[in-house]
Amino acid sequence: MRLRVAGAVLLAAAAYYVYLPLPSGVSEPWKLMLLDALFRSFMQASDAAHALGVCHRVHLLNRVVSWVEVVEARSCPAVNVTDTTLGGVPTRVFHPRGENKLRRGVIYFHGGGWALCSARMRSYDRLCRKMAEDLDAVIMSVDYRLAPEAVFPDQYHDALAASRAFLSAELLQQYGIDPQRVCVSGDSAGGNLAAAVAQELSSDDSLKVKFKAQALIYPVLQALDFYTPSYQQNQAVPILYRPYMARFWLQYLGADSSLEPLLLANNHSSLDQLAISATTRSKLNWTALLPAERKKNFKPVVKEKGSPGVVGEVPGLMDVRAAPLLAEKGVLGKTPKAYVMTCEFDVLRDDGLMYGGRLREAGVEVTSDHYEDGFHGCMVFANLPMMSSVGQRSVRNYIRWLDQNL
Angle between helices 189-202 and 154-166 (to 10 degrees): 60
CB distance 193 to 180 below 8 Å: no
- Dist CA 69 CA 32 (whole Å): 18
Residues labelled catalytic: 188, 346, 376
Point out which residues pair with 90 in neighbouring strands.
85
**For the chain, how far is it from start to end, CA to CA, in angstroms?**
65
| Residue 123 Cα distances to 29, 32, 83, 177, 217, angstroms | 20, 16, 16, 25, 15
| Residue 106 Cα distances to 44, 55, 257, 285, 322, angstroms | 36, 36, 35, 32, 22
Which candidate, 194, 239, 316, places its Cα nearest to that of 22?
239
Pairing of strands 89-96, 79-86: antiparallel
DSSP 102: -
What beta strand segments (E) does 77-171 contain? 79-86, 89-96, 103-109, 137-142
Residue 28 main-chain phi, psi, to 5 deg: 45, 70
CB distance 141 to 119 below 8 Å: yes
CB distance 35 to 238 below 8 Å: yes
Distance of CA 221 to the CA centre of its chain: 9
- Dist CA 145 CA 152 (whole Å): 10
Find the largest Cα–Cα distance for the chain. Answer: 78
Reduced to 3 states, what is the DSSP secondary structure of residue 234? coil
